[in-house]
Structure 1
Amino acid sequence: MPQSRARTENEIDRYVKQIQQSHRIPGLVLAIVRDGKLIHRANYGLANIEFSVPVTDDTVFPLFSSTKIFSVVAVHRLIEQGKLSLDSKLVNFLTDLPEAWREVKIENLLSHSSGLPDIVAYENLPEAEAQQAVYAKAILFKPGTQFDYNQTNYWLLNRIFQKILGKSLSAYIMETQFAGTHSSAFFEGNHLAVMPNFSTGYNNTSDKLTKRNWHFPQYNYGAAGLNLSMNTFLEWNKKLEEGALISAASLTKLRQPFVYEKPRNFTYGWDLIELNGVATYGFTGGMATAYRQVPQKKMTLILLANAMFIPTAQRPGLDAIVNRLLMMAETIP
């Protein structure tokens, strides 16, 4: 390894260990790809503190809302196949919608411009009860006018997939994006479930670390619930870049900025973050996982952790950490 490259990688390692310590993250993995080749990859810390289990390439991490990365690809795949369109209204597929919801389109779900009330407030209820509760709430604004992040959008996408294909959004993702990788890619919303290589999740919001006891309902697995190892995530990223999941034209459309009346940087499914004047795309989840593409630099970063990067006046948040790592990675020869 050239000396300059080794020096840069050591700087990345030092920075990662610094933020890991300051945020009290037991374990994490980081990979950076450029021109289809790994330029940095490392595992840090423990997947389980009690039994001193180290993080490895095969450790599986919950993705939280980064699950939406794969759901968005699934939607654009159906658009490619002509099974729906960005302009399709929800009422074309779902006949039980409240009157005020009937003008909402697929593009509004993907861009979080639907104005719908958030079903996350009722995620501890069975689906039928959660549906009844969220249907009773008023729509927040005219669809398309502004950004308002919510999980209802992905609950509705899941129902639309069931209507069109007779299978859930999560089942379709596993079938088309992760065939044959069920031990290192699976949907499971219970973070206390016992699964092979499953990292223990930790709450680090108080002085004492405790086990994370989060639970995402199966009916909203499109919004969260996917769990991946870094090996499998990297394989998926390679397939995406090679056009095996959706076409290059569809990926370009996915990255196209959505135009809101009240401006916000977001695309037809992924976040859009400007980094020194360069457009980057991706998603973060649970303040613990991040996926970011930089097409202009032909670079992608994946970071998975088993506790949260909680921003404070002294500590950067996850987007700022990703930005810093990408800038450091640019100096790798």
Structure 2
Amino acid sequence: MKYLFFLATFIHLFPLTNISAQNLKNNEIDKYIKEVQQQYNIPGLALAVIKDGKLIHKMNYGLANIEMGVPVTDKTLFPLFSTTKVMSVIAVYQLIQENKIALESPISYFLDDLPITWKNVQVKNLITHSSGLPDIVNYTTENEENAKQKVYNDSIKFSPGNQFDYNQTNYWLLNRIFQKVVHKTLSQFIIDTQFQSVVRSVVFEGNNLKVVENLSYGYVNTDGSAEFLKRNWNFPEYEYGAAALNMTLDAFIEWNTNFDNGFFISDKMKKQLLAPFNYEIKRDFTYGLDLIKQNNDVSYGFSGGLSTAFRKFPDKGLTVILLANGMFIPTDKRHGINEVVNTIASIAEKK
């Protein structure tokens, strides 16, 4: 009887011990986030940590709107900035999976008005930023036709595949390819195929100052003063897909679950996506996502606007989703958003 009583007590207490250990980790993460908010002057943020497919930490911190004193809630929409590219890359692989495009497809197969010097560029060069094309972001204030003519007249930087050179022309071209192949903009295709169940929790809007229900403005504060300036970034619609997606943390969590469960692309497609791209001038990047190596840890994902990040640590079974309305600006005394994500992951994996 004593043995049975001991065994029952042990079984009862064992999950409580695990819960207590997780609570300690969560408290440590919360403490770290509060330190980060002070260090980087971040008004508000939302964080999720997923371990082996289970949500182990989810929390909202601070203010979504300083002027009105509105706290961050589960309804708060955060601008993803370039983290939008995660969904855009998945959209590309959805078309590859449907045999509508291929990584080696020349972009001239879909677009017949390209300069002759652009015609050796392939789809894989767009998603790996190895196209060598001039950057259309220099003409963001122009309408699409004017921007197109100007960027067409600019010189190419290098031959495709030579090196990594981050630019938005790649995603402008992908947007045009989607319109040719599926008769939808890249942004509409993303909404239709990746966010059908949470469509009210996501919106493409490139004007960071436009009044949108539950949208958190982006803020800038670099000197530690009490004054916060609103970001006035404005992405034109023809650049949607490179940026401009806004969403709640819950919508991002559900998207990650669907990605992990193969709802968007198959394991075969994921393997191709996560394979390192072989640049002539070496750089760590996969066939669409950033590849980050720190000590013996390898992770992949994307960050945007020095404010948002999505990272997966496959060896740890961890995913970190960080959405903020301030900027993790690196200085001599502090590191940037990648280091913040690394620290969160380190806390989450503690025994």
TM-score after normalising by structure 1? 0.97
Q: Classify the secondary structure of the residue corresponding to 2:321.
A: strand
Shift of 1:266: 0.2
- After superposing the two structures, state which structure 1 stretch, 197-206 or 236-245, moved more: 197-206
Once the two structures are superposed, residues 110-144 of structure 1 have per-residue CA deviations (whole angstroms, 9 ceiling, x without a partner) of 11000000100101100000001100001000100
Q: How does 1:123-202 map to 2 (within 5 A)?
A: 123-202=140-219
- The Cα offsets for residues 28-62 of structure 1, whole Å up to 9 and x where unpaired, read as 01100011111111111000111111111221100
2:113 maps to what in 1?
96
Q: Which one of the candidate residues 280, 283, 305 is aligned to 1:286?
A: 305
1:83 equivalent to 2:100? Answer yes
1:182-331 aligned at under 5 Å gives the runs 182-206=199-223, 207=225, 208-331=227-350
Task: Say which SS state the counterpart of residue 346 (structure 2) adopts.
Answer: helix
What is the CA-CA distance between 1:277 and the residue it aligns to?
Answer: 1.6
Cα deviation digits, residues 145-172 of structure 1 (max 9, x gap): 1000000000000000001111100010
Alignment of 1:97-112 (within 5 A): 97-112=114-129
AA in 2 matched with 1:38: L
1:34 alignment counterpart:
51
Do the aligned residues in 2 keep the contact of 1:183 with 1:196 (CA within 8 Å)?
no
More off after superposition, 273-282 vs 14-23: 273-282
- The aligned counterpart of 2:75 is 58
Q: Equivalents in 2 of 1:279, 1:273: separation in Å?
A: 6
1:14 is aligned, of 22, 31, 34, to 31
Q: Is the 8 A contact 2:22 2:56 kept in 1?
A: no
Larger mean CA deviation between 185-194 and 61-70 belongs to 185-194
Structure 1 residues without counterparts, runs of 5 or longer: none
CA shift digits 1:232-290 (9 cap, x unpaired): 00000000000001111111111110001100000111000013323211000000000
The answer as to 2:62 corresponding to 1:45 is yes
The question of whether the paired residues in 2 share the 8 Å contact of 1:282 and 1:292 is answered with yes
**How far did 1:295 drift?**
1.6
Identity of aligned residues (%): 53
- Measure, in 2, the Cα distance between the counterparts of 1:52 and 1:269: 38
* CA distance, structure 1, for counterparts of residue 31 and residue 307 of structure 2: 19
Match of residue 86 from structure 2: 69
Is the Cα–Cα contact under 8 Å of residues 71 and 169 in structure 1 kept in the other structure? Answer: yes
How many Å separate the matches in 2 of 1:231 and 1:28? 13
Q: Which residue of 1 aligns with 2:12?
A: none
Counting matched residue pairs gives: 332
Distance 2:145 2:222 in 1: 33
Q: Specify every segment of 5 or more residues in structure 2 that has no aligned partner in the other structure, as ranges.
A: 1-15
In structure 1, what residue type is equivalent to 2:37?
A: Q
Normalising by structure 2, what TM-score?
0.92
Q: Structure 1 stretch 71-80 or stretch 175-184: which is displaced more? A: 175-184
RMSD: 1.1
SS of the equivalent of 2:199 reads coil
